[in-house]
Amino acid sequence: MLTNKLIRPSVSIHPINRSSACFSTYPINRSSILSAKLKNHDLLKHQSYINGQWVGSSTSRTFAVKDPATGEEIGSCPDMNLVDLKLAIDAAKKSFSSYRYSTPASRQSYLRKFNQLIQSNAEDLARLIVAENGKCWKDAMGEVNYAASFVDWFAEEALRTDGTIVPSSTPGIRHLVIKQPIGVVAALCPWNFPAAMITRKVAPALAAGCSVIIKAPAETPLTALALAELAHQAEFPAGVFNIVTTQSATPEIGKALCESEEIRKLSFTGSTGVGKLLMSQSSSTLKKLSLELGGNAPFIVFEDADVDRAVEGAIACKFRCAGQACVSANRFYVHKSIYAEFASKLTKKVSELKIGSGFEEGVLIGPLIDERSLEKVSRHVRLAKEAGAEVLIGGKKVDGVGHFFEPTVLSEVPSGVIDDEETFGQCN
């Protein structure tokens, strides 16, 4: 039988400070990364993209984009409102009236060019992801390739929107099933995969003949806008691909997209609570929804498991993107006969993880996205300790700038203390 013992990694390795050998230094001047180090300077955008044009907010308000590794401002974007959203909806609706009748071959051509542009600008896109999201270079490059794969796949699927002939029970009658684009699609995208979650949502819509409106995450809008620039270079018709950026009006814009009669489908990746709210708000229009909501994945190690392989798998499943992925292992259940060995080997592996700026060679653990995430991970560690858990390694915020937390392993965590809530950080 499985024990109810939990092992919880947090966000760093051992109690460390900036002088620790495991902590990397990083460049102070982020603007050099976002400008001088970009090969394609056209990718760095600070305006929203509506109807084929780069536009600001009707109120001229902007919000700052910050590097989670330093807390420094690395850019700004329009803080758009409902007036600006209406422009995007109108543009998407108008473009859909013609784009829906485009040939599958032409849509495939747009997507193929989009895919080629993503691949040829992969390093620049990865730089933007590291700068505003904080994930390490390896993870960022992996995400760009992942993002391109969706576009590549659906470029081919564009040619396969064929129908079906269904046998009829009535003589002389033939039933035809035809596939048609549903209409304007809204995509509410998360910050943890700022490139891949956009392409996963919009590529099938574009392949089907739908126009799209993307509500970019306020934490990572620069990657979204870079993709808009590449879509522009791929020559999608004006109004087919739109991106709205906002910080202060996120709830209002989300609600407006749900309640709009012009939006026929909405795709959302995020928390279960917000997913429920969006479903409720969409009920008046009977809108079709695609919801990918929060996770709470267990990592189970059985008695006959290869402990070394289990530890390697645990590191990969937990610490990718600093634990900020819905598929990250959130709690570890280990058979009592190998519990001590697994805990010891996992703790040793965690102690070898290098944390710091994602631009630095060898770094595997970047910062958490913001102060709120840092507070949540700290709260989980505190609650576990108060309930009697033992901190095997880590357990606290790293001193200095940035949202860094030590990768943490906790043992003997009582059931029901923190294992029923997604940590979304380096705490297991």
H/E stretch holding 254 reads helix 250-259
List the one residue out of 76, 216, 194 whose CA is nearest residue 135: 194
* Beta carbons of 92 and 184 less than 8 angstroms apart: yes
The encoded tokens of residue 262 equal 């012009």
Q: Which amino acid is at 218?
A: A
CB atoms within 10 A of CB 50: 26
Tell me the C-alpha distance between 293 and 277, whole Å: 12
Catalytic residue among 72, 292, 341, 421: 292
- Strand segments, DSSP code E, in 37-174 are 48-50, 53-55, 62-66, 73-78, 164-166
Q: Is 292 considered catalytic here? A: yes
Q: State how far the alpha carbon of 135 is from the alpha carbons of 37, 113, 142, 157, 252, in Å.
A: 18, 27, 11, 31, 29
The encoded tokens of residue 379 equal 């709260």
Distance of CA 295 to the CA centre of its chain: 14
Question: How many Cα atoms sit within 13 Å of 274 on the Cβ side?
Answer: 18
The encoded tokens of residue 411 equal 């043992």
3-state DSSP assignment of residue 422: coil
List the one residue out of 204, 188, 223 whose CA is nearest residue 149: 204
End-to-end CA distance of the chain: 21
Q: State how far the alpha carbon of 176 is from the alpha carbons of 163, 253, 385, in Å.
A: 7, 38, 63
H/E stretch holding 379 reads helix 371-386
Q: Which residues make beta-bridge pairs with 78?
A: 62
Residues serving a catalytic function are: 292
